[in-house]
Structure 1
Amino acid sequence: MIDREICLKDIADSLAYLSRQVEIYNCVNFYDINIVAEDFYANLLNLIYGYNLINLNVEEKNAPAIDLVDDINRISIQVTSDNTSEKIKESIRKFNEHEHYLNYDRLIVLMLTKKKKYRTIFDTDGKFSFNATNDLIDYTDLMKFIKAKSTKDLKEIKDYLNLELTDKMFQEKNTESSEIDTIIALIEYITKNRELKKNIDTVIDPEYKIKKRFKEFTERIVSEFTTLFTLYGEALEIVNDTLEIDEAQDIITIFYLQDISIRFLELANDSPIEALKLLVDYFEEKMSVNGKKYDRAAIKFYLVNEMIKCNVFPNERSEYNDSK
């Protein structure tokens, strides 16, 4: 993988990891990480956007409505782990109440956790312009902007994240991979080790596969996919966006997945549940030669998702036609 893709992978993994940590810590009423994140994001946003942000709370603890300010560009930022519409309304109300619009033209609300899809209209009483699409941001929005940066800039951002997150706060990342890192590592392994296989004449029909071909396992497959998608669906979306993977995957990769999954399905006597377990074991062992631990459930989710897309355990046309 080229340097640029490595940088993007590491950046996406670090930002997603921080977001999860904030969410987990806040669930147990541990909010110190929110305060640490203010300085962290001030420096990060300066690197990404070329801002001149400073942490206002250093000079004025619990400054109302805003945490980071750039007096040169007249930008203010509220850093929060509360992603509710009520919190946003409160930030706008306090911004107006303290007349921050006299010094700053823009209020950005930076969510430390994943933002929601807001239908609320946020009224500023005409004091300043607030666009929910551009002014409510989370780490996924940062990644969209970061992707357009030069490789040199990406390396600088990656180095900063490594220094502030990996080295200082989350050293366990060196030996344990997140779901994003796991899925990317799995894709990397497949890309590097795939072989050109003979094309198998297949039919893409997920409903037939789940409800008829594997009817004895339908309830189990649907239940596992639903549960795994809830946990890992967002991670896969981030991976696809970061690596710019679309639905039209490399045909060699598809052939590889079809071939290896058919072989394991035969070993499992046509049990997709047992074959999935064998596939997870296989990929986990192959990926772990460097001693790093990977998320088994993330590997399983990737494979189950590919099964739904009919790239794993494909419907061979001859059998498909015979069943009709």
Structure 2
Amino acid sequence: MKRVEFTNYINERFAVLQVRVNSRGKLNILDLHIHSENFYMYLLNKVYGWNLKNANQENQNVEAIDLIDETNKIVIQVSATSTKQKIENTLNKKSFEDYKKQGYCFKFVSISKPADDLRKMVYKNPFNIVFNPINDILDVASIESYISNMDIADMENVYTFIKDELGTIPDVIKFDSDLTSIIIILSRLDLSNNEQINNINSFEIDKKITFNNLDVAALIIEDYKLYHNNLEKKYKEFDKLGLNKSMAVLQAMRKIYIDAVAKKKYENDDQLFLGIIDEVKEIIINSSNYQKIAIEELDVCVSILVVDAFIRCKIFKNPEGYNYVITR
């Protein structure tokens, strides 16, 4: 069915965009945040029938507003920072007094995080501009839901736009991925019940971090190296499903690393580390056996995999004599 084909494709592309926005934000690389303003301008116009324009193109440095629809009287902020404070800081801007007088309503679009909790909150709105959190806070999930109920011709129009903007997935049969299989296993694990890391040498890992000039990535490694033992057990279970399955997962990440280095895809080692996380997520999202999970949960599980691959010598250079296993 075309509706299923369109919906699956749109959801996949949105998931990939969320992954990239989140990862680049961690490095304070905001090019995608800027481009997302125009992407969402055209998308929201197609989905909701609005006449949004880029507010900064109409009037440079418009305070707190990214998009404006003068016909339907809508002002919108597009943001990867999805917090109550962010929304209240925006509503507190003096320019909202004029928007209120002119009969505008305010909408907030979260482009990287779910907004379910934000919709339940009460906000300080000093200029009393029309703003109903339940209806006026949008996120990827709410936009996807609206698109899924559109007329098939309108849905195809949105599908074509997203395909042009966010890239084309080749029209080939999708394959199962062992990376996805291990992610599914990890997502079902209670990570709050963590085991002691009694078989890795933290000093050696720190030495490798320094050797590879990692700064931002060092924080990720510190957070997720704690799950090495948990993953080791899951790899052993995974290998019972077939010969060399855990090796295939580790080699897949090594191939991503080697390819990125050979093509000089990233400017520095921190970007390379986060880039590997992004590329693993994309493989998982686009595999036939992917079961949709929350973007934050996917981020955690993939970070555990990539950090483990770093510890196990599969990615990044090893200093002389590197040995992560504690000798007993």
**Taking structure 1 as reference, are residues 12 and 53 closer, same or farther at Cα in structure 2, changes over 3 Å only?**
same
Distance 1:37 1:76 in 2: 16
State the distance in 2 between where 1:148 and 1:297 align.
23
SS at 1:77's partner residue? Answer: strand
Contact 1:280 1:299 in 2 (8 A): no
Contact 1:55/1:68 (8 A) holds in 2:
yes
Pick aligned residue for 2:188 from 222, 225, 228: 225
Report the equivalent of 1:44: 43
Tell me what 1:53 maps to: 52
- Alpha-carbon separation, structure 2, partners of 1:51 and 1:227: 44
Please state which structure has a larger fraction of its residues in helix. 1
Q: 1:66–1:77: 8 Å Cα contact kept in structure 2?
A: yes
In the superposition, the TM-score normalised over structure 2's length comes to: 0.54
Superposed, 1:295-310 pairs within 5 Å as 295=284, 302=291
Q: Provide the rounded CA distance (Å) in 2 between the counterparts of 1:8 and 1:297.
A: 13
Please name the residue that 1:129 is paired with: 130
Q: Secondary structure at the match of 1:63?
A: coil
**Equivalence for 2:21:** 22
Distance in 2 (alpha carbons) for counterparts of 1:157 and 1:68: 19
- Which runs of no fewer than 5 residues in structure 1 stay unpaired? 168-172, 187-220, 230-270, 285-292, 304-324
What are the equivalent positions in structure 2 for 1:23-172 lying under 5 Å apart? 23-94=22-93, 97-116=96-115, 117-118=117-118, 120-125=121-126, 127-166=128-167
User: Is the CA contact 2:13–2:166 (under 8 Å) kept in the aligned structure 1?
Assistant: yes
**Amino acid in structure 1 at the alignment position of 2:167:** T
Q: RMSD in angstroms over aligned alpha carbons?
A: 3.9
Instruction: Give the length in aligned residue pairs.
Output: 208
Any gaps of 5 or more consecutive residues in structure 2? 179-183, 193-235, 250-281, 293-328
- Find the structure with the greater CA-based Rg: 1
TM-score by length of 1: 0.55
Q: Which amino acid aligns with 2:146?
A: F
Deviation at 1:11, TM superposition (A): 1.0
The match for 1:250 is: none
Give the fraction of aligned pairs with identical amino acids, expressed as a percent: 24
Deviations 1:237-283 (A, max 9, x none): xxxxxxxxxxxxxxxxxxxxxxxxxxxxxxxxxx95434456979xx
Q: In 2, distance between residues paired with 1:59 and 1:4? A: 37
CA contact 2:100–2:127 (8 Å) conserved in 1? no
